[in-house]
Amino acid sequence: MNQPMDTFEIIFKGGILMWPIMATSVVALTIIIERFIVLRRASIDTREFMDAMRQVLRQNRIRDAVELCDETDAPVARIMKAGLLKANRSKEDIREAIEDAGHLETPRLERRLSALATCANIAPLLGLLGTVQGMIKCFAQIQNKRGQVNPSDLAEGISNALVTTAAGLTVAIPILVVYNYLVARVDNMILEMEISSSELLELLTKGRADYEM
């Protein structure tokens, strides 16, 4: 009775293109773990943070608001701090400071997502290339034996074709799902930063004469 093939046998059956497919999966997994850690650390309860910010600003306590930002390790807090440090400037200066801080924070959230998307695109293409390679082997066998071939003569080429295609899709599908999740999460965080920035600008410029550093 034949035993099922183990992982290494399957890789061997897939041919040389299985190695770049595996490398793609390792790179993607590394990026996914790193992004989950970064986004987890960057995530805070924005509503709770802004409630506290609103409370101290309504009491003209700019310094306390800056300290609150220093105590909160999150992109939205760093953007808020940039605006607070310009609290005694014009509305345009405050807006510019907030926008500049946002331009620094957004790429940090989006970092390596393009590489993850590339992995999702490359994996099935490598599988397709393996399929083509397998078919080339099959036709080469047919040509070498002048059409007098047995199924076993074509087994290697067909195995290359099927295994690499399956491997490429197996790697690409979960990467694509996680990529879309991460993009949605980053977009949501950016939206929260934009809303919080607009609220801070309004708080700092409404009755600003009452505020003191």
pLDDT, tens digit, for every residue of 34-83? 999 999 988 888 889 888 888 888 888 888 889 999 998 899 999 999 99
Residue range 91-104: mean pLDDT, rounded: 91
> Which three-class secondary structure state does DSSP give residue 88?
coil
Phi, psi of 2 (to 5 degrees): -75, 135
Residue 130 near residue 160 (C-beta atoms within 8 A)? yes
Instruction: Count Cβ neighbours within 10 Å for each residue of 146-165 and write b for 16 or more, e otherwise.
Output: eeeeeeeebeebbbbbbbbb
pLDDT digits over 132-166, tens only? 888 877 777 777 766 666 666 566 677 777 888 88
Task: Report the predicted TM-score, pTM, of the whole model to 2 decimal places.
Answer: 0.81
pLDDT digits over 156-196, tens only? 677 777 888 889 999 999 999 999 999 999 999 999 999 99
Reply yes or no on whether the pLDDT at 213 is more than 50.
Answer: no
Residues facing residue 212 across a β-bridge = 61
Reply yes or no on whether the pLDDT at 210 is more than 50.
Answer: no
Residue 192 near residue 81 (C-beta atoms within 8 A)? no
What is the average pLDDT value for the chain, to the nearest integer?
A: 84
Residue 165 near residue 130 (C-beta atoms within 8 A)? yes
Least confident of 89-93, 201-205, 206-210: 206-210
